[in-house]
Amino acid sequence: MDARTRPLEVYVDLMSQPCRALLLFLRHNHIPHTVKNVLLHRGEQKTPEFTKLNPMQKVPVIVDNGFVLTESDAILKYLATTYKVPHHWYPQDPKIRARINEYTSWHQTNTRPHAARVFILEVLMPRMTGNPPDAKKVERALADLSETLDKLESVFLKRQPFLCGDEITLADLLAICELMQPLGSGRDVLKDRPKLDAWRERIKSAMKDTFDEVHMYLYRLRDKARL
Amino acid sequence: MALEVYCDLLSQPCRAIVLFLRALEVPFSTMEISLLKGDNRTEQFSSLNPKMMVPVIVDDGFVLTESVAIMKYLAARCKAADHWYPADIQRRAKVDEYLAWQHVHTRPHAMKVFHLEGLLPKLTGQPVKEVLLSRALRELDETLDLLENMFLKDKKFLCADDISIADIMAICELMQPLGAGRDVLVKRPRLNEWKRRVVDHLGRQLFEDIHRVIFSFKDLQPPIQRPSHLIAFCEKLCGVSS
């Protein structure tokens, strides 16, 4: 290996949805990388060292031979174009690529906040405050998430097996990791939605063992919650 | 190329797309969708875009929503000069990074200030909710700090020393509070200088023409129509409890 070439460094926390999407992509495509864990529940994203790397104090971050990049959306697209991966992840065709960009945009203000809110209300806030989840707020959050799930079914998955076409793309990875997050309180938001459940199975099938490996900590939380 | 742009110049991302197309001198037809009149909620429009939002483009039958996706698509489709959305992977990644970040920073924070100070009072006839506005201004202030210190730094534009689609998207968002008469960059010389460079590049006449709706918004006399869905959307965004 060239002395100037260092393996890709990825700063992640497996409890973070976009971090899992990144790790799924890296592992599935056998892209060599070094994982640097940044444990959010210990506040490690707030250390002076990490803040110097990312003033936003967020994960994931990658460092590719000195090139620092934040924002999972940008990171996944960068990796898909820099490394040799199958074209279906982020095709060159401008129209298919536009569909992926269309989803990843909408994702930021729909799937991501709405699924995350359920997890925050049912897992993070009780952990921080010692109080049980606020039932009214949870109900409202589930209603927002339900609208998002309706749109996923009726718009993105209307006539195709994956969000942006016939093959799995970066969009599916980002989406599924968000929708898995509420499992942290034992809640499976896709279980009563056969169309979305089937889409999840297709992703799991495409990603094979990597999917469950990356979700290991989340499954542990789920199992504890269901006791 | 038959390009249709469904837009309302009251909307920041719509202005960004129109500005970009005009800068590229690409012919297109504008289909006006008035958010205040609820044109986005008609059966006709929702069959085009079930999400009932603007902007939407139709390029020879290819329908695309989401302004960030549209800007990137147009950069390729219209063979825009490289600096708009660079081919170099790392330079492109920096534009992608800003455009991802702005969804939960520049966009909502500038929009909330305009909604609380400008749009909601005009639509509801209620006074400005001062506590919420103070909070929104603080959030926007933090975002502007990050814009200066994380993105702009000592460069001429947000992602490089040349203008990109990131700059057009950002400037349109930051113009929005002017609809209530508030210039959020007035006390920020570095960002003001950046704004001047962006406007000079796009053309001052064109920039002001596209923003005429915003400049004249504060003078809109009540009663103006009160589309309940728009009010509900604004209130939810701003955390106004019903």
Q: Which amino acid is at A94?
A: P
Of B65, B96, B108, the CB nearest to A77: B96
DSSP code for B148: I
pLDDT at A1: 42
Cα A76 → chain centroid: 11
pLDDT at B178: 96
Q: Which tens digit of pLDDT belongs to each residue from B184-206?
A: 999 999 999 999 999 999 999 99
pLDDT at A4: 52
Whole-number average pLDDT of chain B: 94
pLDDT at B224: 62
For residue B236, the chain A residue with the least C-alpha distance is A144
Sign of CA dihedral B108, B110, B111, B116: positive
CB contact under 8 A, A74 and B100: yes
Omega before residue A161 within 30° of 0, cis: no
Residues of chain A found within 8 Å of residue B143, distances taken between Cβ atoms: none
pLDDT at B223: 52
Residue A3 pLDDT > 70: no
Question: What is the side-by-side strand order in the sheet with B29-32?
Answer: B29-32, B3-7, B56-59, B62-65
Q: Tell me the CA end-to-end span of chain B in Å, nearest whole number.
A: 47
Residues of chain A found within 8 Å of residue B145, distances taken between Cβ atoms: none
CB contact under 8 A, B97 and A69: yes
Mean pLDDT of A1-14: 79
Q: Which two tokens stand for residue A34?
A: 């070094």
Residues of chain A found within 8 Å of residue B93, distances taken between Cβ atoms: 67, 69, 74-75, 77-78
CB contact under 8 A, B150 and A56: yes
Residue A187 pLDDT > 80: yes
The CA–CA distances, whole Å, from B132 to A1, B114, B135, B138, B235 equal 56, 12, 5, 10, 11
- A47's CB contacts (< 8 A; 6+ apart) are none
Mutation for testing the A interface, residue in B56, B85, B99 having most A CBs under 10 Å? B99
Q: Closest by alpha carbon to B56, among A148, A175, A106?
A: A106
For residue A102, the chain B residue with the least C-alpha distance is B69
CB A177 within 8 A of CB A18: yes
Closest chain A C-alpha to B52 CA, distance in angstroms: 12
pLDDT at B140: 98
Q: Which two tokens stand for residue B41?
A: 């909620």
Q: Tell me the CB-side half-sphere exposure of residue A32, using CA atoms within 13 A.
A: 5
Mean pLDDT of A32-46: 95
Closest chain B C-alpha to A97 CA, distance in angstroms: 8
Residue A11 pLDDT > 50: yes
- A8's CB contacts (< 8 A; 6+ apart) are A26, A31, A32, A33, A34, A62, A63, A64
Q: What's this model's pTM, rounded to 2 decimal places?
A: 0.95
Of B67, B69, B97, the CB nearest to A74: B97
- The helix (H) or strand (E) run that includes residue B40 is none
A130 contact B CB<8A:
no
Q: Which two tokens stand for residue A215?
A: 């979700």
pLDDT at A99: 97
Q: Which tens digit of pLDDT belongs to each residue from A191-218?
A: 999 999 999 999 999 999 999 999 999 9
Of B50, B65, B99, the CB nearest to A154: B50
ipTM, two decimals, is: 0.95
Q: Which of residues A1 and B108 earns the better pLDDT score?
A: B108
The CA–CA distances, whole Å, from A210 to A84, A191, B26, B174 equal 19, 21, 46, 42
Mean pLDDT of A52-67: 96
**What percentage of chain B has pLDDT greater than the value 90?**
84
Residue B1 pLDDT > 90: no
Mean pLDDT of A158-162: 95
Q: Which tens digit of pLDDT belongs to each residue from A96-134?
A: 999 999 999 999 999 999 999 999 999 999 999 999 999
CB contact under 8 A, B69 and A77: no
Whole-number average pLDDT of chain A: 95
Q: Which tens digit of pLDDT belongs to each residue from B96-155?
A: 999 999 999 999 999 999 999 999 998 888 899 999 999 999 999 999 999 999 999 999
CB contact under 8 A, A73 and B96: yes
Measure the CA–CA gap between A111 and A147, rounded to whole angstroms.
10
Mean pLDDT of B218-242: 73
Q: Which tens digit of pLDDT belongs to each residue from B25-84?
A: 999 999 999 998 889 999 999 999 999 999 999 999 999 999 999 999 999 999 999 999
Residues of chain B found within 8 Å of residue A150, distances taken between Cβ atoms: none
For chain B, the residues whose C-beta falls within 8 A of a C-beta of chain A are 50-51, 62, 64-70, 72-73, 76-77, 89-90, 92-94, 96-97, 99-101, 103-104, 108, 146, 149-150
Helix, strand, or coil here: A165? strand
Measure the CA–CA gap between B28 and A63, rounded to whole angstroms.
41
Identify any residues that bridge with A220 across adjacent strands, giving them in sequence order: none
pLDDT at B222: 61
CB A222 within 8 A of CB A184: yes
pLDDT at B66: 98
Q: Which two tokens stand for residue B187?
A: 């006390």
Measure the CA–CA gap between B51 and B41, rounded to whole angstroms.
9
CB B124 within 8 A of CB B226: yes
pLDDT at B225: 65
Measure the CA–CA gap between A90 and B89, rounded to whole angstroms.
13
Helix, strand, or coil here: B66? coil
Residues of chain B found within 8 Å of residue A151, distances taken between Cβ atoms: 50-51
Q: Which amino acid is at B97?
A: E
